[in-house]
């Protein structure tokens, strides 16, 4: 363990930092201090906002910023402005949301953001039933 006296230390990203005492091994590993950890703030809920005020846009947007929301869902929520593309209703925090392929992968659709959409679970069921019915009718027409 090496000890360095107070002074300026060059960091690997090119910046400099003033140190009081720095503890470092011979191969360059430094003892991490608590103040090196960046502070990540959360978005506060507006004081006048409640789940029962009917402002679905606000809550749908907040859901996109929630810690437990996967990145793919958050990106699609932002892209769709908090609305379900099937029924046009806003997503609420209590809704069950599913990621759907616009063109099914079984029909040649790719797993890209431009081919993905967020739907309520019941809307996804309706869309899947309609897609399957269309696939069956197309198959029957081709066999005739």
Q: Where are the domains of the chain?
A: 2-36, 56-143
56-143 has which fold?
Answer: DNA Binding (I), subunit A (1.10.30)
pLDDT value at residue 81: 85
Which residues is 99 bridged to in the sheet? 118
> What's the CA gap between 60 and 79, in Å, rounded?
12
pLDDT tens, position by position, 11-48: 777 787 777 777 777 787 777 778 778 888 777 888 88
Higher pLDDT, 92 or 62: 92
Q: Are 115 and 102 in contact (CB under 8 A)?
A: yes
Q: Are 13 and 5 in contact (CB under 8 A)?
A: no
Q: Are 44 and 28 in contact (CB under 8 A)?
A: no
Q: Are 62 and 55 in contact (CB under 8 A)?
A: no
pLDDT tens, position by position, 74-92: 888 888 888 899 999 988 8
3-class state of residue 50 by DSSP: coil
Sign of the alpha-carbon dihedral angle for 56, 57, 62, 65: positive
Instruction: Band the pLDDT of 143: cuts 50, 70, 90.
Output: low
Instruction: Band the pLDDT of 107: cuts 50, 70, 90.
Output: confident
Q: Are 36 and 9 in contact (CB under 8 A)?
A: no
pTM of the predicted protein model: 0.53
Q: Which two tokens stand for residue 17?
A: 């930092």
């Amino acid at each position: 363990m090496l000890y360095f006296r107070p002074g300026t230390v060059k960091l690997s990203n090119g910046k400099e930092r003033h140190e009081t005492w720095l503890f470092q091994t011979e191969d360059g590993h430094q003892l991490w201090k608590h103040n090196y950890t960046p502070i990540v703030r959360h978005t506060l809920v507006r004081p006048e906002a409640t789940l029962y005020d009917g402002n679905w846009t606000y809550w749908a947007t907040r859901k996109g910023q929630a810690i437990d929301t996967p990145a793919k869902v958050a990106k699609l929520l932002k892209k769709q402005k908090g609305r379900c593309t099937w029924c046009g209703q806003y997503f609420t925090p209590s809704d069950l949301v599913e990621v759907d392929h616009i063109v099914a992968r079984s029909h040649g659709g790719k797993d890209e953001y431009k081919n993905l959409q967020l739907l309520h679970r019941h809307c996804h069921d309706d869309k899947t039933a309609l897609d399957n019915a269309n696939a069956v009718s197309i198959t029957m027409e081709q066999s005739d």
